[in-house]
Amino acid sequence: MVQNIDISVVVPLYNEEESLPELVAWIDRVAKSHGLAYEIIMVDDGSTDSSWSVVERLKCDYPAIRGISFMRNYGKSAALYCGFDMARGEVVITMDADLQDSPDEIPELRRMILEDGYDLVSGWKRKRYDPIGKRWPSKFFNFTARLMSGIKLHDFNCGLKAYRRKVVKSIEVYGEMHRYIPILAKHAGFKRIGEKVVEHHERKYGKSKFGLERMVKGYLDLISVSFMSHFGRSPMYIFGGLGTVMFLLGFIAVAWIIVEKFVSGHPLTNQPLFYLSLVAIVLGVQLFLSGFLGELINRRSVDRNSYQIDRDLDDMNN
């Protein structure tokens, strides 16, 4: 009989060998002090250091650890998705492996889910110890995300979050969409989304994985998730709608030019509007067909088997 688990702590990691022992000991201490049955799900996202060896050693001292290791680096979204798939806890907590997120926040995050009735609680690192080159782009990014999504969060990308288990089992985190999990949750129908100011620590080991390319990817992903939230299930609404409008405008313009030819005798081919109208008709047909095909093609479901898993800690017990 499987023991009821109060919290599942999902930790995606990439080259964090130095911080893992401290992090696991910290989570264990907090959980035991509050009488919480827990599991820690470590997802090694293709680390090139000895992170997975550290996880295997920690498993011997902390049986609550579970984990998988990818054969290559797939990204944080893939790690979170697989961690969510494995989670068995009543409340699921996510945190980064670099010790900048504090496990001391776990009991209060759990309370907000169970007692305050939130589906998702996102951390807000109001006082951050990141360099200014990371803080200011993050502020602008969060402002844009709030504006486009209507979700009043200060820090969409904070790694420290708490979820009702039903939430993580209902959303698909793919690509680079880990930044927009609150938006994905809202789109899935979970609208009770809260926020908690959390403690943020300076990085103790290693170096940040932040790069300027994240800014570009972040905004492209924001456009993608906004589009998918509104039209993902019914692409015909946007493609078919635009296609119909363009086709009608082009058709009306061509009809008017043809009528004018018979009235005034002006050649069709001497009028630039004629060619522009034909282009509008062709584009309108193509957009309409794109929407129609989008309705016919079901988006491929993402599952854990989409990623090549090299090793699984659960196999050690078999």
Residue type at 126 in one-letter notation: R
Categorize the per-residue pLDDT at 263 as very low, low, confident or very high, splitting at 50, 70 and 90: confident
Q: Is 123 helix (H, G, I), strand (E, B) or coil?
A: strand
Show the tokens assigned to 9: 């702590």
* Total Cβ atoms within 10 A of residue 188: 15
Alpha carbon distances (Å) from 48 to 14, 52, 78, 169, 203: 8, 9, 17, 30, 19
Nearest-Å Rg of the Cα atoms of the chain is 25
Give the closest residue to 9 by CA, choosing from 75, 73, 86: 86
Long-range contacts of 136-143 (CB under 8 A, 24+ apart): 137/215, 141/215, 141/218, 141/219, 141/222
Q: Is 43 helix (H, G, I), strand (E, B) or coil?
A: strand
Show the tokens assigned to 306: 């989409």
Q: Specify the pLDDT at position 211.
A: 55
For residue range 99-128, what is the model confidence (pLDDT) as tens digits? Answer: 999 999 999 999 999 999 999 999 998 877
What mean pLDDT comes out for the span 293-318?
A: 60
Range from 63-77, 117-131, 133-147, 227-241 that averages highest in pLDDT: 63-77
What mean pLDDT comes out for the span 76-104?
A: 94
Show the tokens assigned to 256: 């008017």
For residue range 127-144, what is the model confidence (pLDDT) as tens digits? Answer: 776 666 566 667 777 777
Show the tokens assigned to 43: 């997802």
For residue range 173-211, what is the model confidence (pLDDT) as tens digits? Answer: 877 778 888 988 888 889 899 999 998 877 777 666 555
Q: Specify the pLDDT at position 302.
A: 47
The DSSP bridge partners found for residue 163 are: 92, 120
Q: Is 68 helix (H, G, I), strand (E, B) or coil?
A: strand
Is residue 48 predicted with pLDDT exceeding 80? yes
